[in-house]
Amino acid sequence: MAWSHAHVPDQSGRTALVTGASGGIGLETARVLADRGAHVLLACRSVGRGRAAAARIGGSTEVVRLDLASLDSVREAAARVRGRHGRLDLLVNNAGVMFPSYRRTEDGFEAHFGVNHLGHFALTGLLLDLMAPVPGSRVVTVASLMHRAGFGALDEETARSSTGRRSVTAYGRSKLANLLFARELQHRLAVAGAATSSLAAHPGLSPTGLWQGDPPRLLRPVAAAGLRWLAQPADRAALPSLRAATDPGVPGGAHLGPSKLFETGARPLRPAPAAPPGTWRRKIVCGSCRRG
């Protein structure tokens, strides 16, 4: 039987934070968690859009301003969460950019790498002690099929490169970093004996706001065809994230993705390939994320 929204267990008494929750897959993830009784923190760059999303979702929600392109904003968001909540059960690192209009983050990082990986890396580190003692707590990092395009070293030079705004490789590299981070975090949590687990998920293909960037010209017809014939709505694309976050039968370290054609469909029944062979040993640096 295919896993669906109906399989999400009761989340009453749990607190969840979902990044990028003002639209698309993040909004659907937050909506289901709130519907199941969780208090959901909608971490959004735009407070106005976050409040509009909260009104649509209903239930118990709270908007937290978070701009992953600014490490100062990440620290401020984490401080607000820590000031208002003594524990955190779920952290869903969902937000991301693809082919953005800008080239660097506020801190000088290449935009894909800075937003998709380093911002979430810093946020997780700043909130992890709210989760580590909580039984059943989970960090879910949303990766992508495009992690297979993430060639090259994941190092300080890559992170601060001035190129890559319209590069498939740059986006893929950031998604590969997401995946490797999730795996290494699980390893370290297990060694420390923490109650928290780290998992990864990818949504397949969905026509969300992520595709509103400026892709390379040669990719546009391929993307248009894929979105037309293989894409699924955001509510179905959120299933892998929801299962990773809530299914007690899924172990830490798992990477969930759709099982249909080219892993673009909606049924998160089998783990997706973790990464190209040998890449899991790559070093991921955080640079100034180590501050504060």
Per residue in 53-110, pLDDT (tens digit) is 999 999 999 999 999 999 999 999 999 999 999 999 999 999 988 777 667 889 988 8
The stretch 109-118 carries a mean pLDDT of 90
Render pLDDT for 119-174 as a digit per residue (tens, 0 to 9). Answer: 999 999 999 999 999 999 999 999 866 555 445 545 555 555 555 555 667 777 88
What pLDDT shows up at residue 166? 54
- For CA atoms 249, 252, 255, 257, the dihedral sign is positive
Q: Which residues are catalytic?
A: 171
**CA distances (Å), origin 246, targets 10, 55, 89:** 9, 23, 10
8 Å CB contact between 210 and 98:
yes
H or E segment at 272? Answer: none
* Domain edges within the chain: 11-287
Angle at 243 between CA 123 and CA 121, to 5 degrees: 15
Render pLDDT for 219-233 as a digit per residue (tens, 0 to 9). Answer: 544 454 444 445 576
The DSSP symbol for 10 reads: P
8 Å CB contact between 25 and 94:
yes
Render pLDDT for 246-289 as a digit per residue (tens, 0 to 9). Answer: 999 999 998 887 765 444 443 443 444 444 333 333 333 333 33
Query: 65, 128, 76: which is closest to 292 by C-alpha?
Result: 76
Domain at 11-287: CATH code: 3.40.50.720
C-alpha to C-alpha distance for 40 and 35, rounded to whole angstroms: 10
What pLDDT shows up at residue 203? 84
What pLDDT shows up at residue 112? 86
What pLDDT shows up at residue 1? 56
Query: 202, 207, 208, 139: which is closest to 175 by C-alpha?
Result: 202
15 forms bridges with which residues in the sheet? 39
Beta strands in 84-154 (DSSP E): 90-93, 138-142
Query: 135, 147, 189, 162: which is closest to 282 by C-alpha?
Result: 147
The DSSP symbol for 77 reads: H
8 Å CB contact between 246 and 116:
no
Q: In this structure, what token pair is assigned to residue 157?
A: 């030079």
C-alpha to C-alpha distance for 275 and 83, rounded to whole angstroms: 37
CB atoms within 10 A of CB 261: 10
What is the full DSSP assignment across 89-104? Answer: SEEEE----SS-S-SB
